[in-house]
Structure 1
Amino acid sequence: MTFPAPLTGVVPPVCTPLTPDREVDVPSLTRLVDHLLEAGVDALFVLGTSSEAAYLTDRQRRLVVETVVGHVSGGVPVLAGAIDMTTPRVLDHVRYVTDAGADAVVVTAPFYTPTHPAEIARHYRLVAARSPVPVLAYDLPVSVHSKLGAELVLELAAEGTLAGLKDSSGDLGGFRAVVTGARADPAVSGFSVLTGSELLVDSALAMGADGAVPGLANVDPAGYVRLDRLCREGDWEGARGEQERLCSLFGMVRVGDGGRMGGSSSAIGAFKAGLCLRGVIACAATAEPQVPLSAEEVAGVGKFLAGAGLL
């Protein structure tokens, strides 16, 4: 399908359901896609952080893209992460996700070795020159250890290298600078500015963002679609109430015992436990070496779901 410019609305970063032996659970993945589409989401993003892309083998990544693109059959745009340490490896991912039919690719800055802004810019220019589909930047400094500055993002947008930004930096001031810069510059017309925050979607849309890519939308896609629509209708009081309900639900990501697991294990484990409890996926397994939630912690997720009216 033709990739919209700008891409707007709710774009869930799709979780990757796994079997107990940590293979991709294709039937659960297609049920999850149906769960999201039935809620009215505007696009899907596979192979991002919530997809556990960093933990999947290349074979599993390919299977995820092929499954989702095939199941969607052009109904909504499918964005695919092409996330790896260096430009040549990213280009390999671009090749297989676009061969599988992805409508756009989402790319972080290079990582592992310290990277200069000039090298980040060169990375994106080289990827865009070889990609047959639009390239969106993924600002994820907690994982790649470099921040995409607003000036650099806007420069790459104005020259046509980048079609959008998925911002998971937590830097609301920097995000605002991109939003206002894109709005002020006619050369950046059609550039998509998307927040990755579950907790600030109403604020991001109020300042002029185009949409949101919230991991919690796997569990409650209808809630985020409702929030997006309320914002676009100008019902800011209604939007605030929906955002606050989702903020309370987001507390599920902290059910995991921080003394025995990391934040990723707790958050992704909670999303998957929530999807299991809602009957969407068959198994809440997370990729190794993440630590699984205990039965008591899964019960805690259930309390959050019940409190949000989802059980």
Structure 2
Amino acid sequence: MPTLPQWSGVFPAVVTQLHEDQSLDLPASARHFEALIDSGISGLIVCGSLGENQTLQPEEKRAVLKCAIETARGRIPVLSGVAEMSTQAAIQYMKDGEKLGAAGFMVMPPMVYKSDSRETAHWFRTLAAATPLPWMLYNNPVGYHTDVTPEMFVELADISNLTSIKESSANPRRITELRNLVGDRYQIFTGVDDLILECSILGIDGWVSGSGIAFPQENQKLWQLTREGRWDEARTLYRWTQPLMKLDTHIHFVQYIKLLCQETGLGREWVREPRLSLAGAEREQVLKIIRDALAKRPASE
């Protein structure tokens, strides 16, 4: 088996750009992908939770992935989220993604049905066997109510193409627990934006960022400051970004981040039903958070 890549750095999980009528806006997606690549990201993840995976039709998911791969032109790896409701649908999507040229996948637990630990392990093992490509396991017990514990990652360590973990339990202790149990077996990414400094100090390899897709230059700079151990500067920049990053932790995070992208000129706020775009007092409150932060945006270097 060939040596699999070791992913690291910022791999933003991107929104799926839509027209107001809820149809795909692939040209807008391509422009957004290009802006992210220009900022210096190390990889790109489409069709995750923020990408509204579960509301997209099968052919739409494949179209978004194809658009990202064609835009990237091999400059960075492009991964796709796998968030399906059945094992067979997930396997088919992974096979199609491989044919399109995906570099790998970010695999979520089964959607809708809340699997127990035996079923969860079976799900991930079955999908791993369906592709030779590397993949990242997305652990988000807060959002999906399925927890892959550090002890379970010990049991899964024999899966050769499971290379990375997106750790989104919102418990930074997990970073150290994982390192103590499995060492450097996996590349560990944080998936909670407003825990980036805590997780960086504890020792991570990468960041699956969400809100930072709306301010990619500053997001990339923050990551670089953590890599260089320039903590005073990192704290200063983080204090500016934190109100914006916190938008990624709400049940309406898709609507919030799409509105944030609209305010920074990197997208539109339109979402796919059953989600509805923000309205009334909630929209005004989120806009105030965004605009207050952008009024204090650090000067570009």
In the TM superposition, what whole-angstrom CA distance separates every residue of 1:127-146 from its partner, at most 9, and x where no partner exists?
11111311211112233321
Pairwise CA distance, 1:76: 0.3
Verify: 1:288 aligned to 2:287, yes or no: no
Quote how far apart the aligned CAs of 1:246 are: 1.4
Q: Match for residue 117 of structure 2?
A: 117
For the residue of structure 1 that corresponds to 2:242, the secondary structure is helix
Q: Is 1:45–1:80's contact at 8 Å kept on the other side of the alignment?
A: yes
Aligned to 1:219: 214
C-alpha deviation, 1:290, in angstroms? 1.2
Contact 1:165–1:193 (CA under 8 A) maintained in structure 2: yes
Q: Look up the match of 2:131.
A: 131
Q: In structure 2, the residue corresponding to 1:113 is in which secondary structure?
A: coil
RMSD of aligned residue pairs (Cα, Å): 2.3
Deviation at 1:298, TM superposition (A): 6.5
Match of 1:248 among 240, 243, 248: 243
Task: State how far apart, in whole Å, the 1-side matches of 2:181 and 2:132 are.
Answer: 27
Q: Relative to 1, partners in 2 of residues 1:85 and 1:41: Cα closer, same or farther, differing over 3 Å?
A: same
Counterparts of 1:10 and 1:3 in 2: how far apart (Å)? 22
Q: Which amino acid aligns with 2:221?
A: R
User: Once the 2 structures are TM-superposed, how far is the Cα of residue 158 of structure 1 from its aligned partner?
Assistant: 4.2
After TM superposition, the structure 1 stretch with the greater mean CA deviation from structure 2, 237-246 or 12-21, is 237-246
Seen in structure 2, the aligned counterparts of structure 1 residues 114 and 49 have a Cα distance that, compared at 3 Å, is closer
What residue identity is the alignment partner of 2:208? V
Query: What is the identity percentage for the equivalent residue pairs of Structure 1 and Structure 2?
Result: 26
* Helix, strand or coil at the partner of 2:193: coil
TM-score of the aligned structures, taking structure 1 as reference length: 0.87
User: Which letter does structure 1 place at the counterpart of 2:27?
Assistant: P
- Matched position secondary structure for 2:126: helix
Q: Is the 8 A contact 2:165 2:188 kept in 1?
A: yes
Cα–Cα, structure 1 residues 114 and 196, in superposed 2: closer, same or farther, change >3 Å? closer
Aligned to 1:272: 258
1:306 aligned partner: 295
| 1:6-57 per-position Cα deviation (integer Å, ceiling 9, x unaligned) | 3111111011110011111111101100111111111101111111112211
The alignment status of 1:203 with 2:198, answered yes or no, reads yes
> What corresponds to 2:141 in structure 1?
141
Q: TM-score, with normalisation over the residues of structure 2? A: 0.90
Structure 2 partner of 1:76: 76
CA distance in 1, matches of 2:132, 2:91: 11
Distance (whole Å) between structure 2 residues aligned to residue 278 and residue 111 of structure 1: 32
Q: What code does the residue aligned with 1:142 have?
A: V
Give, in whole Å, the separation in 2 of the partners of 1:269 and 1:115.
28
CA distance in 2, matches of 1:144, 1:268: 15
Name the residue aligned to 1:257.
none
C-alpha distance in 2, partners of 1:213/1:149?
A: 19
Distance 1:108 1:89 in 2: 13
Correspondence 1:157-172 to 2 at 5 A: 157-172=157-172
1:199 match: secondary structure: helix
Question: How much has 1:247 moved relative to structure 2?
Answer: 0.7
Q: What letter corresponds to residue 278 of structure 2 in structure 1?
A: L
Q: 1:288 corresponds to which letter in structure 2?
A: E
Q: Structure 2 counterpart of 1:35, which letter?
A: A
Q: 1:253 & 1:138 partners in 2: Cα distance? A: 16
1:66 partner letter:
K
Q: How many residue pairs were aligned? A: 295
Q: Which amino acid aligns with 1:149?
A: T
Structure 1 runs not aligned, ≥5 long: 255-262
Alpha-carbon distance in structure 1 between the residues aligned to 2:29 and 2:258: 12
Distance 1:117 1:271 in 2: 32
Judging changes above 3 Å, is the alpha-carbon distance between structure 1 residues 178 and 26 closer, same or farther for their aligned structure 2 residues?
A: same
Q: Could you give the per-residue CA deviations for residues 242-298 of structure 1, whole angstroms, max 9, x where no partner exists?
A: 2222113335569xxxxxxxx443x222222222222222x3101111121236356
Matched to 1:222, the amino acid is Q
Q: Could you tell me which residue of structure 2 aligns to residue 234 of structure 1?
A: 229
Name the aligned partner's letter for residue 286 of structure 1. V
Q: Using the alignment, how far apart are the partners of 2:208 and 2:276 within structure 1?
A: 25
- Structure 2 residue runs of 5 or longer lacking an equivalent are none
> Quick one: structure 1 residues 54 and 142, their matched pair in 2 at CA, closer, same or farther if it must change by over 3 Å?
farther
